[in-house]
Chains A and B, each alone.
Chain A
């Protein structure tokens, strides 16, 4: 008789395996259940408050009359502006670091700093925005100052994501292009960028959706919580959803808490839409490139 191949004779190893798997499942379920609970309580609080009026009303002293129109519009404007500012800067920086700067020491130094910048707390960016954009550059407590601050905040994320995307383009593709007698810029513009676009866009959308939830920098830059008008220009005062939520949560009346819950549902919904767009964009373009998704 050879050595046993029966299950029963491998009981101990099997037991350890089961314990380990159970621990892994626990590690997945714990945060998932917590989040789900949070989401459910939020939805049960906020959903009933979501009405057309809630979207089209300005803030009010009376909770039941208050709405999120200026802050929601403010958030949409902010995100659009942030993307417009951060995208070209971030992608440009990534192109320099990845395609041109490889041989240079400067690029290495910048690289390390960008990695560090991504870890700087957002309050610090708020202070920088206050000092630089609001005061020194004289932008005041305006939409553009807020957008510039948020753009600064997400810039490192955009740079890192874009670099990752550029790196997925094989060296062979670049060489093929250069060997045809293309300059570096022609290679980047017509071959590397189109091929890495899905990754670049996904990274940028995710970065913007992160900026959408930021409160601290906007508080410091001077976003308002009580706005009775829509921003009518880049230099207009503004509000944003996180600010509105922050304001409502800090009020004593329970009716405002319900408002806050409803506003959070809206904010989460907007993020979800953005992230969904990111996924769709990536999959669509990858299919077009004929690469496995």
Chain B
């Protein structure tokens, strides 16, 4: 079927960061992903688009094994990260998630922690925290998340006192601080106003040289603005994936065109 159309679209010669084959995701007996094949190239931004309920969130949650945390949820197929199947029996999802960071739809800084401790949370939680490095990590993560100048004078204030956009950038800093290779973002701007959204998009642009980024969005303009590759999901199937330019200008599948031109969705 059209799954085969989702061919490799990374830079030629470079092995893909993720190589997904026959990925099926289920909640109980309800299948929400019906066998997805896609390669995600290293570095750069891959946007995952599609109408509500198409399985795009489930797809990225399968990339760091967060999907299986929901009661009765499971996944089948292979998802290779740098050639290693993350669903192999001897893979510890906890260690995997230290390499694959995630930013969620709703900003969720830890309310019991200060801004500084939020950034260091991953280090504390995983007992990889070293006091001597702490200040440097906090500053570099907050700088990368473009939040340093706004919070440097109140690092010990509660993270929950920040604005929504600042909270989301704090969450990005928190994810960056554990030094992942991959950053998954599940509709990171959908709870934010346009100005905060623009700042996050700038940030995504700055981070894409260092991280492999996968961003779920139902905002097509956003996908067009920030991504290098785009994958279009519909009703649990990957319809089409390829360079964002191609997907938005001459999609192969008529359903992709209908969605992008706003005929449905």
Are A172 and B97 CB-contacts (below 8 A) given A181-B125, A182-B126? no
- Chain A residue numbers with a CB within 8 Å of B53 are none
Nearest B residue to A289, CB-CB: B111
* B110:A173 contact, CB within 8 angstroms: yes
Can you spell out 22 A-B residue pairs with CB atoms less than 8 angstroms apart? A103-B71, A172-B106, A175-B66, A176-B104, A176-B110, A178-B66, A179-B66, A179-B175, A180-B125, A180-B174, A181-B94, A181-B96, A181-B97, A181-B122, A182-B94, A186-B126, A190-B125, A195-B110, A195-B112, A289-B112, A290-B158, A291-B160
Nearest A residue to B125, CB-CB: A182
Cα distance, A290 to B111, chains bound together (Å): 7
Given contacts A176-B108, A190-B125, 17 further A-B contacts (CB under 8 A): A103-B71, A103-B72, A176-B109, A176-B174, A179-B64, A179-B66, A180-B121, A180-B125, A180-B126, A180-B178, A181-B178, A186-B125, A194-B112, A288-B112, A289-B111, A289-B112, A290-B160
Cβ of A187 within 8 Å of any chain B Cβ, yes or no, is yes
Chain A interface size, under 10 / 10 to 19 / 20 to 34 / 35 or more = 20 to 34
Cβ of A89 within 8 Å of any chain B Cβ, yes or no, is no
Among A103, A170, A177, A194, the most chain B Cβ lie within 10 Å of the Cβ of: A177
- Chain B residue numbers with a CB within 8 Å of A182 are 94, 122, 125-126
Among A180, A182, A187, the most chain B Cβ lie within 10 Å of the Cβ of: A180
Cβ of B241 within 8 Å of any chain A Cβ, yes or no, is no
Nearest A residue to B110, CB-CB: A191
Cβ distance A237 to chain B, nearest Cβ, rounded Å: 44
Cβ distance B221 to chain A, nearest Cβ, rounded Å: 26
- Chain A residue numbers with a CB within 8 Å of B126 are 180-182, 186
Cβ of A102 within 8 Å of any chain B Cβ, yes or no, is yes
* A175:B97 contact, CB within 8 angstroms: no
Chain B interface size, under 10 / 10 to 19 / 20 to 34 / 35 or more = 20 to 34
Are A102 and B171 CB-contacts (below 8 A) given A179-B64, A181-B97, A291-B111? no
Cα distance, A181 to B64, chains bound together (Å): 10
* B112:A178 contact, CB within 8 angstroms: no
Among B64, B96, B99, B112, the most chain A Cβ lie within 10 Å of the Cβ of: B112
Cβ of A44 within 8 Å of any chain B Cβ, yes or no, is no
- Which B residues from 93 to 135 make CB contacts under 8 A with A? 94-99, 101-102, 104, 106, 108-112, 121-122, 124-126
Cβ of B161 within 8 Å of any chain A Cβ, yes or no, is yes
Cα distance, A182 to B94, chains bound together (Å): 6
- Which A residues from 142 to 188 make CB contacts under 8 A with B? 170, 172-173, 175-183, 186-187
- Chain A residue numbers with a CB within 8 Å of B111 are 173, 195, 289-291
Are A191 and B112 CB-contacts (below 8 A) given A103-B72, A180-B101, A182-B126? yes
Nearest B residue to A186, CB-CB: B125
* A190:B122 contact, CB within 8 angstroms: no
Nearest A residue to B72, CB-CB: A103
- Number of residue pairs spanning A and B whose beta carbons lie under 8 angstroms apart: 82
* A179:B97 contact, CB within 8 angstroms: yes
Cβ distance A283 to chain B, nearest Cβ, rounded Å: 16
Q: Which residues of B contact A (CB under 8 A)?
A: 64, 66, 69, 71-72, 94-99, 101-102, 104, 106, 108-112, 121-122, 124-126, 158, 160-161, 171, 174-175, 178
Nearest B residue to A189, CB-CB: B125
* B112:A172 contact, CB within 8 angstroms: no
- Chain B residue numbers with a CB within 8 Å of A183 are 94
Cα distance, A179 to B126, chains bound together (Å): 11
- A191-219 CB contact bits vs B (8 Å, 1 = yes)? 10011000000000000000000000000
Cα distance, A173 to B106, chains bound together (Å): 10
Cβ distance B185 to chain A, nearest Cβ, rounded Å: 11
Cβ distance A216 to chain B, nearest Cβ, rounded Å: 41
Cα distance, A175 to B69, chains bound together (Å): 9
Cα distance, A158 to B148, chains bound together (Å): 43
* A178:B97 contact, CB within 8 angstroms: yes
Cα distance, A289 to B125, chains bound together (Å): 19
Nearest A residue to B171, CB-CB: A176
Cβ distance B228 to chain A, nearest Cβ, rounded Å: 24
- Chain B residue numbers with a CB within 8 Å of A289 are 111-112, 160
Among B94, B109, B175, the most chain A Cβ lie within 10 Å of the Cβ of: B94
Cα distance, A187 to B64, chains bound together (Å): 17
Nearest A residue to B159, CB-CB: A290
- Chain B residue numbers with a CB within 8 Å of A102 are 71
Among A173, A179, A288, A290, the most chain B Cβ lie within 10 Å of the Cβ of: A179
Cα distance, A102 to B174, chains bound together (Å): 28
Q: Which of B95, B106, B109 contacts A181 (CB 8 A)?
A: B95
* A290:B102 contact, CB within 8 angstroms: no
Cα distance, A52 to B91, chains bound together (Å): 68
Cα distance, A177 to B158, chains bound together (Å): 17
- Which A residues from 261 to 293 make CB contacts under 8 A with B? 288-291
